[in-house]
Amino acid sequence: MEYNIALIRGDGIGPEIVGEAVRVLEKTGEVFSHRFHFTDLLMGGCAIDRIGTPLPDETVEICLKSDAVLLGAVGGPKWDSLPGHLRPEKGLLGIRAALGLYANLRPARLYPALKDACPLKDGVCASGIDLVVVRELTGGIYFGVRGRRQGKNGQEAFDTECYSEKEIARIGKIAFDLARSRRAKVTSIDKANVLESSRLWREVMHGIAGQNAGIDYTDMLVDNAAMQLVRDPSQFDVIVTSNLFGDILSDEASMVTGSIGMLPSASLGEGRPGLYEPIHGSAPDIAGRGMANPVATILSAAMLLRSSLGLEKEARAVEAAVEETLAAGLRTADLAGPGCAPVSTGEMGVEIARRIR
Ligand code: NAD
| DSSP result, 247-272 | HHHHHHHHHTTS-GGG-EEEEEESSS
Which residue is closest in CA terms to ligand 1's atom 16?
Answer: 261
Element housing 352 (H / E): helix 345-354
Give the alpha-carbon dihedral of 118, 121, 122, 127, to 10 degrees.
Answer: -80
Whole-number pLDDT of residue 251: 85
Question: What is the residue type of 171?
Answer: I
- 112 found inside a domain: no
Whole-number pLDDT of residue 124: 79
Cβ–ligand 1 distance for 292 under 6 Å, the answer yes
Q: Separation of 111 CA from ligand 1 center, angstroms?
A: 22
Best of 280, 332, 352 for a ligand 1 pocket test (most atoms within 8 Å of beta carbon): 280
pLDDT band at 268 (very low <50, low <70, confident <90, very high): very high
Which residue is closest in CA terms to ligand 1's atom 10?
Answer: 283
Cβ–ligand 1 distance for 283 under 6 Å, the answer yes
pLDDT(338) > 90: no
User: Are 84 and 130 in a shared domain?
Assistant: no
**Helix (H/G/I), strand (E/B), else coil: 301:** helix
Q: Separation of 280 CA from ligand 1 center, angstroms?
A: 5
Whole-number pLDDT of residue 127: 78
Q: For 170-192, what is each residue's pLDDT tens digit?
A: 999 999 999 998 999 999 999 99
Which residue is closest in CA terms to ligand 1's atom 38?
Answer: 281
As a whole-number percent, the residues of the chain with pLDDT over 90 amount to: 86
Whole-number pLDDT of residue 37: 98
Sequence-distant (6+) residues with CB within 8 A of 167 are 102, 136, 138, 139
Whole-number pLDDT of residue 117: 78
Inter-residue contact 263 to 280 (CB < 8 Å): yes
Report the sign of the C-alpha dihedral through residues 224, 227, 229, 235, in that order.
negative
User: Are 123 and 252 in a shared domain?
Assistant: yes
Active-site position among 115, 130, 142, 173:
142
pLDDT(209) > 80: yes
Whole-number pLDDT of residue 216: 98
Whole-number pLDDT of residue 310: 95
User: Are 293 and 221 in a shared domain?
Assistant: no
Which residue range is the domain that position 297 belongs to?
A: 1-102+263-357
Whole-number pLDDT of residue 114: 87
CATH number at residue 205: 3.40.718.10
111 counts as catalytic: no
Cβ–ligand 1 distance for 280 under 6 Å, the answer yes
DSSP letter (8 states) at residue 158 = E
Whole-number pLDDT of residue 225: 98
Whole-number pLDDT of residue 73: 97
- 329 found inside a domain: yes
Average pLDDT, the chain: 95
Inter-residue contact 283 to 266 (CB < 8 Å): no
User: Are 231 and 273 in a shared domain?
Assistant: no
Question: What is the residue type of 191?
Answer: K
Cβ–ligand 1 distance for 20 under 6 Å, the answer no
Active-site position among 57, 80, 251, 285:
251
pLDDT(258) > 80: no
Q: For 111-157, what is each residue's pLDDT tens digit?
A: 888 888 788 888 777 778 899 999 999 999 988 999 999 999 999 99
For residues 351 and 335, which has the higher predicted lDDT (pLDDT)? 351
Mean pLDDT of 258-280: 92
Q: Which of 117, 163, 118, 115 is nearest to 139 (CA)?
A: 163
Active-site position among 49, 159, 223, 285:
223
Number of H helices and number of E strands within the chain?
12, 12
Mean pLDDT of 298-304: 98
Whole-number pLDDT of residue 126: 77
Q: Separation of 279 CA from ligand 1 center, angstroms?
A: 8
User: Are 194 and 290 in a shared domain?
Assistant: no
Report the sign of the C-alpha dihedral through residues 116, 122, 124, 125, in that order.
positive
User: Are 130 and 178 in a shared domain?
Assistant: yes
Whole-number pLDDT of residue 77: 97
User: Are 147 and 244 in a shared domain?
Assistant: yes
pLDDT band at 245 (very low <50, low <70, confident <90, very high): very high
User: Are 314 and 204 in a shared domain?
Assistant: no
Cβ–ligand 1 distance for 284 under 6 Å, the answer yes
User: Are 268 and 192 in a shared domain?
Assistant: no
pLDDT(316) > 80: yes
Inter-residue contact 62 to 39 (CB < 8 Å): yes
User: Which ligand 1 atom lies nearest to the CA of residue 333?
Assistant: 20
Mean pLDDT of 83-105: 92
pLDDT(312) > 90: yes
Least confident segment among 42-51, 115-124, 142-151, 257-266? 115-124
Output the pTM of the full model: 0.92
Whole-number pLDDT of residue 112: 86
Count the domains in the chain: 2
Q: Separation of 260 CA from ligand 1 center, angstroms?
A: 9
User: Which ligand 1 atom lies nearest to the CA of residue 297?
Assistant: 18
- 279 found inside a domain: yes
pLDDT band at 254 (very low <50, low <70, confident <90, very high): confident
142 counts as catalytic: yes
190 counts as catalytic: no
Whole-number pLDDT of residue 253: 87
Sequence-distant (6+) residues with CB within 8 A of 35 are 1, 2, 3, 29
